[in-house]
Chain A
Amino acid sequence: MTSHKDYETMQRAARRKSGLLQALTYLGLSIWAVVVLFPFYWMVLTSLKSYGAYNSEHTPVFFTLSPTLENYENAFTAVPLGGYLLNTLIFAVATTAIMVVVSTLAAYAFARLKFRGKNLLFGLFLSMMMIPSELVVITNFVTITNWDMRNSFPGLILPSITSVFYIYLLKESFEQVPDELYRAAKVDGTSDLKYLWKVMIPICRPTIVTITILKLIECWNSYVWPRLITDDQAYFLVSNGIQEIRENGFGRENVPAMMAAVVVISVPLILLFLAFRNKIMEGVSRGGMKG
């Protein structure tokens, strides 16, 4: 009887201890969630404060009673934020579209077609993944300058297209498609291009969607190459645009207008992320890296 009681108290103590641990876990996780979310809250909040209100509060206030949209108006009229957004959209869509086509063709050749030196060439492709972009950017800068392509979309897009990693991902995915389908199609006299378009791409659509989204994010956030290759504001992308806004835009003290621009730049990607959350996270964990 006593031993049974002892056991019960021990159980209760263990449950209490694990309850405490759970509570601590939730507390810790919530703290990090606040650290992550707070900058977003602060930028939205600041962007809704009027210029006068923001600068008159020596101690920052955590809320605003008179939200205003004038900063957003400013962001689109006082600085060419709309132009930056449009440039980035053109750059991101064009680069991603060309990348998908080029990579699909290459991946198809590696996955399905037979040719001499295939394994050797694929090995070379894989080793190219290890080439750091910082090393090649110097010569690319000189090349594009010599071709007179500075401040132009081709100059921005061309060196940004290729990604060996995405070719690798696509090849892996194409290889999952059973050989029998290909042989059947060949018997029916289907051409390779038609087979690729009608069979391979529909089957491997999830992978194609994943690499499209990852590339779009990469393009939207790219900073180094656009900065090197554009000095004409008419060709600035958002990253350079926001830097320009910070240094010469609204005047250093107009923080609310600056934050409005930051919100406008951040929202498209956050929406894209919320829409394709699982695809993005899965793609990134398969080997995506920031930068």
Chain B
Amino acid sequence: MTMTTTQATTRHSVVELTQVSRWYGNVVAVNDVTMTIGPGVTGLLGPNGAGKSTLLHMMAGFLAPSGGTATLNGVRIWRNHEVYRLIGLVPEKEGVYGFLTGWQFVLSAARLHGLPSPADAAARALDLVEMAGPKDRRIETYSKGMRQRVKVAAALVHDPQVLLLDEPFNGMDPRQRLHLMDLVRQLGEQGRTILFSSHILEEVERVAQQIEVLVAGRHAASGDYREIRRRMTDRPHRFRVRSSDDRRLAAALIADPSSSAVSLTDQGIEVQAVDFPRFTSLLPKLARDLDVHLWQVSPTDEDLESVFSYLISRSSA
């Protein structure tokens, strides 16, 4: 894939949240979060309703923190329109004028930024997101993925040092998703400070070096993706296994320290694995050695909520 991003920014920007909270009446959406987002790609991961958008809007200057401070390079973000010289924002909400063409929309962004040659900047940004072809069609005729890309182009038109994207991959088809992921990675490698929110671990893992996990408004975990992945896989996993001989397989599983509890039920064996990697390599070997056919191996607690609540229970322990 050929991409001609504008020249890398030389000065690095840092977004800093210090003990930031945000509440609505009695409801606390974000609770005492402190984090520093530096150059490179950071993924803000959390289940729906965790407060990701609230946090991102406070970083983007579209929401006042109820407590704490949000700054860009040490300067307060709230009620400071000058920060948008450095920030590019891709909101989750559609936020595009359907009656404008893609070209007019991105060009208007360039002009609103007061760029010296807005047409060149708009053409470059549209190229970057592969939207040069349909640029003369009205945005209302675009698919969701195309609208998303045009929003990204408008956010990139002034070559910002900081890019904030709220659930940017939603509604994109797999090819567009991969392309945008590549683009975000490249922009991060150029030294830009990029934060994007997502509720999908695999998405975040593919793009971000640094991951911040938010659960129920609290900062549950922080680290590079390997660390987060390890924490997520280190937890006890529950599996349901159905086989040609559940009783024999269960006896062999309980004899190994990778499982802490094994029970036989009408639906098969229920296993609690405490050493996930060991369990996953042990199970097929055991089945082969005992000549047992495996019909079904399915995790019973793989939903994100349970993964995240495990993380937060660890972080608050």
Asked whether A and B interact, the reply is: no
